[in-house]
Amino acid sequence: MSLVIDTVSKIFDITLIKKGCLMYAKHRTWAEGKGGFVTAVKDTEITIQYHPGIGNVTNHFFLPVSEVTAGEWEVRWSEDLTTVSEFIVESGGGDES
């Protein structure tokens, strides 16, 4: 029995998304998506801060890589709003400009 197990897992490409990037995401259970900006990026999770429309308040949500790769999220992002990238699961995942 081995103490170490080799596994293959999916992680975010943290060279594509950085703090401050603008991001739109919609979970499959939401009626509408939310637009905000990235406040934290880890290889397994992205944190997005957004304005919920209530006074002077902000909120946040998390994008776990497991849910994104399972097709539970519609995700688009941009660093400058000139080029917008989208993650599409149906085509095997990836980003398209």
Is position 96 within any domain? no
Whether pLDDT at 93 is above 70: no
Is position 56 within any domain? yes
Is position 21 within any domain? yes
Q: Return d(Cα 44, Cα 53) in angstroms, integer.
A: 28
Of 11, 35, 26, 24, the C-alpha closest to 72 is 26
65 and 45 in contact (C-beta within 8 Å)? yes
38 and 20 in contact (C-beta within 8 Å)? yes
Is position 85 within any domain? no
Is position 90 within any domain? no
3-state DSSP assignment of residue 52: coil
65 and 12 in contact (C-beta within 8 Å)? yes
Is position 44 within any domain? yes
DSSP 31: S
The pLDDT assigned to 17 comes to 92
- pTM to 2 decimal places: 0.83
Domain of 53: which CATH number? 2.30.30.100
Q: How confident is the model at residue 88 (pLDDT cuts 50, 70, 90)?
A: confident
Query: Which residues make beta-bridge pairs with 63?
Result: 46
Is position 68 within any domain? yes
* Number of domains, the chain: 1
Domain that holds residue 63: 11-79
Is position 1 within any domain? no
